[in-house]
């Protein structure tokens, strides 16, 4: 019996009388111009390079032709998301535990790709919490966190939304940390009733960092300057076009300290650390799981399966409670380790994500910079 997925796909292929896309003449015209610029070489080595160029051009044209000859599900520029749907990972009971993954840079700005944008981490999490709030059979939420942090506002927004969900529903919240749950990722985990770290998790980094570029040295080398008229003595404080004076450095440090103290006070409020542990955590260094457990930043060390069991225990759920996740499309052989509902449901021939490091702007962050390139 044929796979139903292929039957659905075959129905979406356009008939022969519509196979040529409006973009096809433009693509062919562009290809002809590129080929016309190539001088056919005579020696063998140059001929080999020439053939590589022809193959590359042919492959590129084929890619555009494939996207042009198919229905919207194969359109490389189609970014319309499907509605969230619930899928069961395990269990058959009536009551449910919802897993919500939180991955990458924590931001309330959409993620920019080369061809499309995807919802921000804040939007992804909040839309799932809102959906869960309307389902009385969901008795607990397990946050699967893998992030080095993010902007201070986005981290605080998620902290607020998670805490509000907990208060409104009375449901239990638990966190399982994966590779990273540092800085802002730890910040948003604080409302949890149970925090479990993977044996190889890195967490901590309880602090704030103010990052901004400085172009003074480069500008002086190329003889470029910026003239500024301002109203207010400190209007251009933090400008990348000049060095900060001592007064400005003091004022900026006060701002950083304000955000840092807010973070450490919330840690103390939720985790009730002793004086020595609080002093060590306040250095803003990162900790491996064993050290985090010693300092009481986390409650236990274990795996996702352990986190599911602990969540059932604290929520008073039976062993057959269902573990569910929200996605925008069905995934064969689904399991705990797949990412969640962030992407669109449409197949893309080109899926090129821009590294998060290129989306970082000047500002205040609850972020561990040591892992920023990996988000």
- Distances in Å between the Cα of 168 and the Cα atoms of 58, 133, 160 are 58, 8, 12
For the stretch 310-331, pLDDT in tens is 999 999 999 999 999 998 887 7
Both 191 and 299 in one domain: the answer is yes
Which residue range(s) make up the domain with 362? Answer: 85-206+285-374
- Those residues whose C-beta lies under 8 Å from the C-beta of residue 225, and which sit 6 or more positions away, are 219, 241
Catalytic, out of 70, 120, 183, 205: 183
CB–CB of 211/362 below 8 Å? yes
Q: How far apart are CA 324 and CA 317, in angstroms?
A: 14
In a domain, residue 212? The reply is no
Both 36 and 123 in one domain: the answer is no
In a domain, residue 270? The reply is no
For the stretch 294-306, pLDDT in tens is 999 999 999 999 9
Both 14 and 121 in one domain: the answer is no
In a domain, residue 267? The reply is no
Q: Please state the rounded mean pLDDT for residues 73-79.
A: 45
- pLDDT band of residue 108 (cuts 50, 70, 90) is confident
What does the DSSP assignment read for 266-322?
A: HHHHHH---HHHHHHHTT--EEEHHHHHHTTSSSEE--HHHHHHHHHHHHT--TT-E
**153 or 350, which is more confident?**
153
Q: Where residue 108 sits, what CATH number does that domain have?
A: 3.90.226.10
pTM above 0.85, yes or no: no
Both 70 and 139 in one domain: the answer is no
- Which of the listed residues 74, 98, 117 is the one where a domain comes to its end? 74
In a domain, residue 262? The reply is no
* R_g (Cα) of the chain, nearest Å: 26
Tokens matching residue 138: 């969901």
CB–CB of 154/106 below 8 Å? yes
Both 298 and 351 in one domain: the answer is yes
Q: Please state the rounded mean pLDDT for residues 174-197.
A: 96
Residue 134 phi, psi (nearest 5): -90, 5
| Res 12: pLDDT | 41
Give the chain's domain count.
Answer: 2
Both 197 and 131 in one domain: the answer is yes
In a domain, residue 221? The reply is no
Tokens matching residue 269: 């409020």
In a domain, residue 302? The reply is yes
Both 142 and 48 in one domain: the answer is no
Q: Please state the rounded mean pLDDT for residues 10-24.
A: 44
- Taking Cα atoms as reference points, which of 72, 154, 92, 90 lies closest to residue 120? 154
- Taking Cα atoms as reference points, which of 297, 324, 328 lies closest to residue 311? 324
For the stretch 110-137, pLDDT in tens is 776 555 677 889 999 999 999 999 999 9
Mean pLDDT (the chain) is 78
- Taking Cα atoms as reference points, which of 30, 26, 27, 35 lies closest to residue 53? 35
Both 34 and 94 in one domain: the answer is no
Active site residue 166: no
In a domain, residue 233? The reply is no
Q: Please state the rounded mean pLDDT for residues 199-209.
A: 95
In a domain, residue 354? The reply is yes
The region of weakest confidence among 98-102, 123-127, 203-207, 345-349 is 345-349
Active site residue 269: no
Both 143 and 198 in one domain: the answer is yes
Give the E-state strand segments of the chain in sequence order. Answer: 85-90, 96-103, 111-112, 117-118, 138-147, 149-151, 172-182, 194-197, 202-204, 209-211, 286-288, 300-301, 322-327, 363-367
Catalytic, out of 46, 235, 249, 309: 235
Both 171 and 290 in one domain: the answer is yes
Q: How far apart are CA 5 and CA 2, in angstroms?
A: 9
């Amino acid at each position: 019996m044929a796979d139903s997925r292929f039957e659905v796909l075959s129905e979406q292929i356009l008939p022969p009388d519509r196979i040529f896309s409006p973009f096809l003449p433009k693509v062919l015209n562009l290809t002809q111009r590129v080929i016309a610029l190539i001088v056919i070489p005579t020696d063998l080595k140059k001929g080999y390079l020439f053939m590589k160029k022809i193959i590359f051009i042919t492959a590129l044209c084929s890619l555009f032709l494939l996207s042009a000859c198919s229905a919207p599900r194969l359109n490389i520029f189609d970014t319309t998301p499907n509605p969230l749907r619930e899928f069961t990972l395990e269990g058959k009971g009536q009551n449910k535990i919802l897993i919500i993954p939180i991955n990458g840079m924590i931001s309330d700005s959409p993620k920019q790709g080369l061809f499309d944008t995807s919802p921000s981490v804040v939007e992804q999490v909040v839309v799932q919490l809102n959906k869960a709030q309307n389902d009385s059979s969901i008795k607990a939420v397990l946050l699967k966190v893998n992030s080095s942090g993010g902007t201070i506002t986005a981290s605080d927004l998620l902290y607020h939304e998670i805490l509000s969900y907990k208060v409104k529903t009375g449901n239990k919240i638990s966190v399982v940390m994966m590779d990273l749950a540092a800085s802002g990722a730890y910040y948003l985990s604080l409302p949890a009733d149970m925090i479990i770290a993977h044996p190889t998790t890195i967490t901590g980094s309880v602090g704030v960092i103010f990052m901004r570029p400085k172009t003074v040295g480069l500008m002086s080398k190329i003889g470029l300057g910026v003239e500024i008229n301002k109203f207010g003595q400190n209007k251009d404080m933090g400008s990348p076009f000049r060095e900060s004076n001592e007064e400005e450095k003091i004022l900026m440090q006060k701002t950083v300290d304000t955000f840092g103290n807010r973070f450490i006070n919330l840690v103390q409020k939720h985790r009730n650390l002793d004086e020595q542990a609080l002093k060590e955590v306040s250095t803003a260094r990162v900790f491996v799981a064993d050290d985090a457990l010693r300092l009481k930043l986390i409650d236990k060390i274990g795996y996702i399966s352990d986190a599911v069991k602990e969540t059932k225990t604290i929520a008073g759920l039976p062993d057959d409670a269902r573990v569910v996740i929200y996605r925008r499309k069905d995934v064969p052989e689904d399991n705990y380790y797949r990412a969640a509902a962030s992407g669109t449901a449409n197949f893309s021939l080109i899926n090129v994500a821009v590294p998060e490091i290129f989306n970082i702007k000047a500002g205040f962050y609850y972020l561990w910079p040591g892992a920023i390139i990996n988000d």
